Amino acid sequence: MRGSKDDDRDEDVEMDDVDEADEVDGDDGIEDPNSERNRRIRSQYAQSGVIRRIKLLNFMCHDNLEVNLSPHVNFIHGENGSGKSAILIAICACLGVKASDTNRGSSLKDLIKHGKDWSRIELTIMNEGPDAYFPDAYGDSITVVREFTRASSTSTYKIVSSSGAIMGRSKKDLQGVLDHFNIQVENPCVVMNQDTSRDFLQSNKNEAKYEFFLRATQLKQMGETIADIEREEAAARQHLKSASEVLESLEQDYHEKEQLWKDRTSIQTIDQMVRELENECMWARCHHLQQELSTKEQLINEFETAVEAETVKLQDLLERKTAAVEKQRKAKAFLDEEKAKAIADTQRRNRLQADLQAAKKLVMKYQQQLDQCRKNKAAALKRKAQFQKSLQKLISEENTDREHEESLKAKKLERVQSEQDDVRARMADVKQRLSEASRNADALQDAYKGAEARSKDCRRRVQDLESQKRSMERAAANHLNAFGQRMTELVAVIDKHASRFRAPVIGPIGAHVTVLNERHVVAVQSAMTTKLLCGFLVDSDTDQQQLMAIFKNFFGRQRFPFIVVMKRSTQKYAIPRESPYGNVPTVLESVEIDDPWVFNALVDRARIENSLLLDSADAAMSKLRNLERSQRRGALPRIYLPDGDVVIGNNGAITVSPGPPRVQKMLGRTTSQDIEAVSRELNDAQSEAESLAAIADRARSSSNTAVDESRQLRMQEQTLQSRLDQLKTEISDLLRPSQAYDGQDNDALTELQSRIDQCDQAVADCDADEGVKQQLLDSALEDREDKIAAVTKYNSEACDAGAQLEQAAADLKTALDDIAELQIKLDKVQLILNKQKEKVADVENTASSMRSRLQEWRARAEAEGPEIQTDRHYEDITKEIAQLQKKQRDQEARFDCTLEETVRRYTVAKQKYMDAQVRIEEGQSNVRRIYRKRVSSVKDWTTFKKRIAGQTNANFLFNMSQKGHTGVIKFDHDKSTLHMHVKMANNQGEAEMTTDTKALSGGERSFTTLAFVVAIGESIRTPFRALDEFDIFMDNINRKIAINLLLELSKKYKNRQLILITPQDVSMVKATRTTYVLHLRPPAREHH
């Protein structure tokens, strides 16, 4: 049990007593260790609360040590200095024990390995079975991680589930886990370190054993709580005594003030008369004001009747004007739409005409090329026929002596020439296919480049949208982020160095500007420029140098914000709010600027008073033309459109400059709807980017395929050309005459054959070129027909659009005339109505003032009493009140204070006396509560000591009996002593037990001590216990006996985990599935 949760544990004990009554011996609440229930519980291995694994990093002498533990018995042995005790200290430190309580250092820094800067401990606890701690959240294990460094005086906790999720980071979260499993690492019975083992085994003092018993069972903590309650009770009784003394003096003062108040009650008669007259006076004033107010209200009704009549007329005219304005708006919108269509149609007509002319020129070009190709082919065929005829004639004229040989040559020549014609035909076909494949490859390459360019543009747009979304999210969190990613940090740095400036630095300038209409945000930003809005305002050149130094230190080599140097001012420029440009709003009218200095800077730098805002470019151009006609001198204003475009007029020329493609909203408030809209646009752009990327991939694949096809055709062409060269060589050899023949004839034949070959090549080239030119001509003819049809269709549509444009202009003129006529009537009625309203307002103000006064007097009169009907004037009643008050003052002169002061003193004294009585009652109740709490706590403490002592005695007897020994523990709670009476198995014939454990042998004393420690541990039911150097001062024989005894006891308590640390040999221990024997080797140590 833990002292901080005594009440909860008491309830748990009571419930256990009720549910397990059949396992309790007698009425003292002590469970029999040999009961069936306890045997059943001990026979099951622990599933929760025991340590499964511990890992040490840079802890004490270990760099990296990981130890897996059995849920039952664990022997950890090794040489001195191998770091065995570090495991036990790590368990304590990881589960919240202070470093000073481990006797190894004054702070956690002392536990970090020498030469390291940090350390971490990981401890994994099993969390299975019916006693698991929130198994759905934590899983089958809970890992506690504690980290600490030399640089910090604090450490960090992490409670991690089996899935790796962090479930807590505080010691409070860890304490919840420890309380659930009843893990008490500060309890010397649960974790007995080297010092505790040595002191406990050497000590034979009964008082020390009793003190150990109280600490182990936390009864000592409960006793300290009772001592605190006793001190609280003494303080409460002392406080009650002091309050009683104060009550006596307050009671005496109360009676004195009460008597004085009774003496003054005789004057209350005059007070009552004065109050009644004052009440009558207030009601008389109310009646007077009510009469005057009725007169005014009647006059107001007359004026309001006249106003209603004029309002009806005005409303009728307004409705008619609204209808006329709506008609004008629709007519103007239709006219603007038709004008835009006309402009677009004109551009479209020009494009169609240009396309048609280009198509016609292309047809003529391809037709001429085709005709020329056909002429070249006919000429080549004609030349070939002439050359062939000359060749045959020359051959026939050869001598008859060579007829046989020449006949053979002629046949071979005919065969070779036939193959040559076939190769040339194939080569012409390959050239034609190569030409088509090259054009196709070029077209596909162009298509791929276009698709890749569109994909890059889309990816760039995605990046812009992602950047815009991040900027908007930052701006939504802090408006300063809208002016730059690091603007918040920069402003904080400038504020930190504010003392370096002669005058406060203002910036960013845009943070002091608020746009009144959200749809003007982009236009206003375009007018003021991003450079100026993100800039800073300083008073002097000195402040500019200081700010530049801060910028250089903050930005490094990056671009700095713009700095405006301007003398600080506290008054805004005297600029008329009414615009000189009529009903067209200026930038100045569309914003609110909260600082006069910023206001003047924007007027000087951005000319916001001369920058106009309109919704369309046509309206802006029309406004500039009107201003040019009306203004003979002076610069024309710039007009900004909602998308950021600016319309500029200069010397009769009007141009439209486009704004930035994508503008980050700095002046408007970034809403979640804006972020969602950008997110949707981003998703669309990402989808489009993926689609374009896929298209580009397909285009690249098609282009590569076409290039490969061209490469293969070019290789075929080279192969055919090589074969053609071979055939030409063979023909030349065949045509070459023998040595006996005339060389002149041989040269003539060779020349003729060469010319025939040239003609064949020319014919093949013409055939290939003719096919290409014919395809180009067919495509150009088809395109020309499409362009002619488009021009014809446009001409028909243009006629209809012209008639609609003329009708729209006429409708707009009629609507404008109607609006002008109605406006004149409206102004006349409005003037009459304003005069009537002024009269009503004047009378209403007077009546309102009278109502306020009447309401005030009536409230005061109702507070004094019910309404009084009187005919007297309030001034007469006031005079009578003054006379009575003079009489009252004469009588009160006999006392040292007024009646009100007397009543106040009496009331205060009475209240203090009553409050003191209440405090006395509360103090008595508090004393009784604390007394009951102390009595109950002492009773519980006595009961727990008796119950836990009895349970410990029963467990001790059970543990001793496992080796045939007999043992009894006698507690003297009054003297705070504990006596152990034991009779060993070999002394059972003796009549008396021994009470001095030093009289026992080393093994018997160790066994008795371990049986005592295990008995106390079973009383508190902790899931694991750890003993360090439990076998100290034992020889090998007694240590072997002690280990065998521990193993036999552990078989009786399978539901508990036992961690035994010893520097001695444990070879006699047989490792099993549930008994681990871990040998630690001395870690490598650094030498300094």
For residue range 937-976, list pLDDT tens digits in order: 888 888 878 888 888 888 888 878 877 788 888 888 888 8
- Please check whether residue 620 is in contact with residue 647, taking contact to mean a CB–CB distance below 8 angstroms: yes
Q: Structure tokens of 896? A: 């040292």
Q: Note the pLDDT tens digit of each residue in 591-600.
A: 888 898 988 8
By residue count, the chain amounts to 1088
* Spatial CB neighbours of 300, under 8 Å, sequence gap ≥ 6: 840, 843, 844, 847
Answer positive or negative: Cα dihedral of 815, 821, 826, 827.
positive
Q: Is 60 exceeded by the pLDDT of residue 775?
A: yes
Question: Taking residues 636-651, what's their average pLDDT?
Answer: 82
Q: Note the pLDDT tens digit of each residue in 80-98.
A: 888 888 898 999 989 988 8
Say what percent of the chain tops pLDDT 70: 80
Cβ neighbours around 116 below 10 Å, total: 13
Q: Note the pLDDT tens digit of each residue in 666-702.
A: 776 666 666 777 787 778 777 777 877 887 787 778 7
The tokens 């009774």 sit on which residue? 262
Average pLDDT, the chain: 77
pLDDT given at position 134: 94
Q: Structure tokens of 380? A: 């080549």
Q: Are strands 30-31 and 73-78 parallel, antiparallel or unpaired?
A: unpaired
Per DSSP, the three-state class of 635 is coil
Q: How confident is the model at residue 888 (pLDDT cuts 50, 70, 90)?
A: low
- Please check whether residue 279 is in contact with residue 868, taking contact to mean a CB–CB distance below 8 angstroms: yes
Q: Note the pLDDT tens digit of each residue in 787-806.
A: 777 777 766 666 666 566 66
Ramachandran area for residue 338 (φ above 0: left; ψ -120 to 50: alpha; else beta): alpha
Q: How confident is the model at residue 19 (pLDDT cuts 50, 70, 90)?
A: very low
Closest residue by Cα to residue 1006 from 958, 948, 953, 960: 960
Q: Note the pLDDT tens digit of each residue in 122-142.
A: 999 999 988 899 999 999 999
Q: How confident is the model at residue 520 (pLDDT cuts 50, 70, 90)?
A: confident
Q: Note the pLDDT tens digit of each residue in 20-79.
A: 333 334 444 455 555 665 556 555 788 889 999 999 999 989 999 999 999 999 999 888
Please indicate whether residue 288 or residue 567 has the higher confidence score (pLDDT). Answer: 567
* Spatial CB neighbours of 612, under 8 Å, sequence gap ≥ 6: 581, 584, 585, 586, 587, 620, 623, 637, 638, 639, 640
Question: 521-528 vs 596-606: helix axis angle to the nearest 10?
Answer: 70
Per DSSP, the three-state class of 452 is helix
Q: Is 90 exceeded by the pLDDT of residue 809?
A: no
Which CATH architecture is the domain 49-204+1026-1088 placed in? 3-Layer(aba) Sandwich (3.40)
3-state secondary structure 44-111: CCCCEEEEEEEEEEEECCEEEEEEECCCCEEEEEECCCCCHHHHHHHHHHHCCCCHHHHCCCCCHHHH
pLDDT given at position 20: 36
β-strand partners of 160: 143, 166
The per-residue DSSP string of 147-172 comes to EEESS-S-EEEEEEETTS-EEE-SHH
Per DSSP, the three-state class of 896 is coil
Q: Is the peptide bond before 866 cis (omega within 30 degrees of 0)?
A: no
pLDDT given at position 6: 41
Closest residue by Cα to residue 1067 from 1038, 1046, 1036: 1036
* 428 burial type by CB count under 10 A (0-12 exposed, 13-18 middle, 19+ buried): buried
Return phi, psi of residue 633, to 5°: -135, 165
Q: How far apart are CA 1045 and CA 1009, in angstroms?
A: 12
Please indicate whether residue 309 or residue 807 has the higher confidence score (pLDDT). Answer: 309
Q: How confident is the model at residue 353 (pLDDT cuts 50, 70, 90)?
A: low
* 979 burial type by CB count under 10 A (0-12 exposed, 13-18 middle, 19+ buried): middle
The listed range with the strongest mean pLDDT (500-509, 642-651, 1042-1051) is: 500-509
Gyration radius of the chain's alpha carbons: 56
Q: How far apart are CA 218 and CA 799, in angstroms?
A: 106
Q: Note the pLDDT tens digit of each residue in 989-1009.
A: 665 666 566 677 766 776 777
Q: Is 50 exceeded by the pLDDT of residue 8?
A: no
β-strand partners of 145: 122, 158
Question: 206-217 vs 899-961: helix axis angle to the nearest 10?
Answer: 110
pLDDT given at position 25: 41
Helices vs strands, H then E, count in the chain: 22, 23
Q: Note the pLDDT tens digit of each residue in 138-163.
A: 999 999 999 999 888 788 999 999 99
Q: Is 50 exceeded by the pLDDT of residue 736?
A: yes
- Please check whether residue 525 is in contact with residue 599, taking contact to mean a CB–CB distance below 8 angstroms: no
Closest residue by Cα to residue 406 from 877, 851, 906, 749: 749
Q: Note the pLDDT tens digit of each residue in 455-514.
A: 787 877 777 777 767 766 666 666 677 777 778 888 888 888 888 898 899 889 888 888
pLDDT given at position 146: 94
- Please check whether residue 69 is in contact with residue 1070, taking contact to mean a CB–CB distance below 8 angstroms: no
* 230 burial type by CB count under 10 A (0-12 exposed, 13-18 middle, 19+ buried): middle
The per-residue DSSP string of 454-484 comes to HHHHHHHHHHHHHHHHHHHHHHHH-GGGGG-
Return phi, psi of residue 125, to 5°: -110, 135
- Please check whether residue 1023 is in contact with residue 1009, taking contact to mean a CB–CB distance below 8 angstroms: no
Answer positive or negative: Cα dihedral of 1004, 1005, 1006, 1012.
positive
pLDDT given at position 140: 93
Say what percent of the chain tops pLDDT 90: 8
pLDDT given at position 13: 32
pLDDT given at position 185: 81
Question: Taking residues 443-451, what's their average pLDDT?
Answer: 74
Per DSSP, the three-state class of 835 is helix
pLDDT given at position 142: 95
pLDDT given at position 989: 60
Closest residue by Cα to residue 587 from 577, 596, 597: 577
Please indicate whether residue 168 or residue 397 has the higher confidence score (pLDDT). Answer: 168
pLDDT given at position 15: 32
